[in-house]
């Protein structure tokens, strides 16, 4: 393990730019807004109070840019692409799960279950590579330039139609990757859960009462079978957020994952630290949201 990043940075400044040790140290200290001469626990307290004021230090690579601004520029893209994909794959998985539970043993169930199992076995970034190489390069189905970046370079970002269309064209490839690699998990879980709910007494009662089939499927079976999936939703969100580093590097999509990749390759420690913190916070917040959602959907866990 090398010595701490600040020491490395100082040594670099001294050896490459020929700065005196004191100047280099002052520069490093101003970058991190931390006094390096203080004992380590006081430095940590300083870091934490800076953090609470939204100050995550400044980037090494693009000197002078506050880390918080970089995260502010990159995070929306991750939130946009990940939430859009997760929402779609969750809905799709639930619908397909109900279908294959109702028609279990049929051809369509076998095809769907087989497909879901195969897709689940493929690591998502490899699926992304396959999508790019086949759809983009080999078969020319989707132009490669829409699989690089989050929007075209010549276009002005803002609330105008060409930009919005362009954004959606660029999100398509990562979106497809996320959806294809996650819907199988939802589908198989929903299928298992639906099959167990179908055996419940209240479903038999509902049928005996002569309720409409549609109403039984959606209000009785579907609603109850979905519950266990919400607990998995939080865990899965964390995994997708974590994996965004890989997907965003494949498609050079301008999200926090790409920012993390760049900062690691450039040894940009303040950015690395900031992005990692933001990803962790996102996971914790989404865990919390999933809990809230759960109580919204299942009245039994609500507090009276």
Partner 1 sequence: MELLNKFLIKPLKIIYQNKVGFIGFLIVIFYVLMAVIGPLFIPLDKSPKPELMYQPPTWEHPLGTDYEGRDILSQIVHGSRDVLYVAFLAGFLTVLIATLLGSFSGFKGGKWDFLIMAVADILLTIPQFPLLSVLAAVMRLDYTFLAVLISVLSWPTLARAIRSQVLSLKERDFIEAARALDLGTRHIIFTEMMPNLMPYIAINFIFAMTGAIYTQVGLVFLGFVPFVSHNWGVMINIAWTKGAIFYKQSIYYILSPIMAIVGFQLGAILFSRSLEEIFNPRLREE
The verdict on 145 binding partner 1 (CB under 8 A) reads: no
Contact residue for partner 1 among 47, 80, 276, 294 (CB under 8 A): 276
Least CB distance to partner 1 at residue 192 (A):
14
Q: Please, which residues bridge with residue 66 across strands?
A: 58
CB of 151 to partner 1, least distance (A): 19
What secondary structure does DSSP assign to 230-299, as a single string? HHHHHHHHHHHHHHHHHHHHHTT--SHHHHHHHHHHTT-HHHHHHHHHHHHHHHHHHHHHHHHHHHHH-G
Give the shortest CB-108-to-partner 1 separation in angstroms: 19
Nearer to partner 1, 2 or 299 (CB): 2
Residue 151: partners with Cβ closer than 8 Å, 6 or more residues away: 157, 163, 166, 167, 170
Q: Which of 31, 177, 261, 274 binds partner 1 (CB under 8 A)?
A: 261
Alpha-carbon span 96 to 184, nearest angstrom: 9
Q: Is 264 in the site for partner 1 (CB under 8 A)?
A: yes
Radius of gyration of the chain (CA): 25
Cβ distance to partner 1 smaller for residue 132 or 179:
132
Residue 120 has, within 13 A of its CA and on its CB side, a CA count of: 16
Q: In terms of CB distance, is 11 or 265 closer to partner 1?
A: 265
What is the Cα–Cα distance from 273 to 109, expressed in whole angstroms? 46
Q: Which is nearer to partner 1, 75 or 264 (CB)?
A: 264
Cβ nearer to partner 1, comparing 26 with 129: 129
Examine residue 77 and tell whether it contacts partner 1 (CB under 8 A): no
Q: How far is the CB of 239 from partner 1 (least distance, A)?
A: 8
Q: Closer CB to partner 1, residue 20 or residue 140?
A: 140
Q: Cα dihedral sign for 265, 54, 240, 180?
A: negative
Contact string 29-58 vs partner 1 (x = CB under 8 A): ------------------------------
- Taking the C-alpha atoms of residue 263 and residue 222, their distance in angstroms, rounded to an integer, is 44
16-38: string of b/e by CB count within 10 Å (b at 16+)?
A: eeebeeeebbeebeebbbbeeee
Q: How far apart are CA 63 and CA 14, in angstroms?
A: 17
- Min separation Cβ 253 and partner 1, Å: 14
Q: Is 137 in the site for partner 1 (CB under 8 A)?
A: yes
Token pair listed for 279: 């990803």
Q: Which is nearer to partner 1, 167 or 275 (CB)?
A: 275
Count of residues that bind partner 1 according to CB under 8 A: 42
Footprint (CB under 8 A) of partner 1, residues 217-256? 235, 238-239, 241-243, 245-246, 249
Stretch that binds partner 1, among 9-17, 65-73, 135-143, 210-218 (CB under 8 A): 135-143
* Separation of alpha carbons 153 and 28, rounded Å: 34
The C-alpha atoms of residue 208 and residue 205 are separated, in whole angstroms, by: 5
- Give me the residues that bind partner 1 (CB under 8 A), please: 1-2, 5, 117-118, 120-123, 125-126, 129-130, 132-133, 136-138, 144, 235, 238-239, 241-243, 245-246, 249, 260-261, 264-265, 267, 272-273, 275-276, 279-280, 283-284, 287
């Amino acid at each position: 393990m090398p010595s701490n990043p600040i020491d490395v940075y100082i040594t670099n400044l001294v050896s490459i730019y020929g700065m005196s040790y004191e100047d280099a140290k002052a520069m490093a200290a101003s970058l991190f807004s931390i006094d390096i001469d203080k004992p380590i626990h006081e430095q940590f307290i300083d870091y934490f109070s800076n953090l609470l004021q939204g100050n995550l230090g400044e980037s090494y690579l693009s000197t002078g840019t506050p880390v918080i601004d970089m995260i502010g520029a990159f995070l929306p893209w991750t939130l946009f692409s990940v939430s859009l994909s997760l929402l779609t794959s969750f809905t799709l998985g639930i619908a397909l799960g109900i279908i294959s539970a109702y028609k279990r043993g049929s051809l369509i169930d076998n095809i769907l279950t087989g497909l879901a199992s195969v897709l689940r076995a493929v690591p998502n970034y490899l699926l992304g590579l396959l999508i790019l190489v086949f759809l983009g390069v080999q078969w020319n189905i989707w132009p490669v330039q829409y699989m690089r970046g989050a929007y075209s370079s010549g276009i002005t970002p803002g609330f105008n139609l060409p930009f919005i269309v362009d954004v959606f064209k660029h999100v398509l490839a990562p979106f497809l990757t996320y959806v294809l690699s996650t819907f199988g998990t939802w589908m198989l879980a929903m299928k298992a859960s639906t099959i167990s709910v179908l055996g419940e007494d209240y479903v038999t009662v509902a049928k005996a009462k002569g309720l409409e089939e549609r109403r039984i499927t959606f209000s009785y079976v579907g609603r109850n079978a979905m519950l266990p999936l919400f607990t998995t939703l939080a865990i899965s969100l964390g995994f997708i957020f974590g994996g965004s580093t890989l997907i965003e590097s494949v498609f050079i999509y301008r999200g926090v994952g790409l920012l993390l990749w760049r900062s690691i390759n450039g040894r940009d420690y303040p950015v690395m630290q900031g992005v990692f913190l933001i990803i962790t916070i996102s996971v914790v917040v989404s865990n919390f949201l999933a809990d809230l959602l759960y109580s919204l959907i299942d009245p039994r866990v609500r507090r009276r």
